[in-house]
Amino acid sequence: MARGYVEIPEAYLLPYADEIAPEGNISFVHDHAPIHDAHIVEEFFENHPYITQIYWPGKFMDCNPIENLFGHIVLEWKNADERHPAALIIHVHQVWDRLRADGAICQ
């Protein structure tokens, strides 16, 4: 499982690192879950010293806005019989528009 965790920054973060942080300083946030502390993960960060690890406390509240948005989308999904992409896209837009109207999401 740890190998899968390392594949994400290898496949997505590293190829775009120059665009994300041309000065070479990148922060990567993760908690102390066992998969994050595996030797292969530590080795990845040792081989990429310009990536600073920021540890998020385990079971700490999630302040990532996209995670909170996903939570709203899932919790408000009532159309159990309409599990097709078009219905999901409509639902996502409805939740997004409502949250923006409520001021929960910045304009």
C-beta separation of 31 from 55 below 8 A: yes
Predicted confidence at residue 25, as pLDDT, reads 80
Where are the strands (E) in the chain, listed by range?
A: 26-31, 51-56
Burial annotation 50-79 (CB, 10 A radius, 16+ → b, else e)? ebeeeebeeeeeeeeeeeebeebbeeeeee
pLDDT tens across 68-94, in order?
A: 777 788 888 876 666 788 888 888 888
> Radius of gyration over alpha carbons of the chain, in Å?
18
pLDDT of residue 65: 66
What's the pTM? 0.50
Q: Which stretches of the chain drop beneath a pLDDT of 50?
A: none
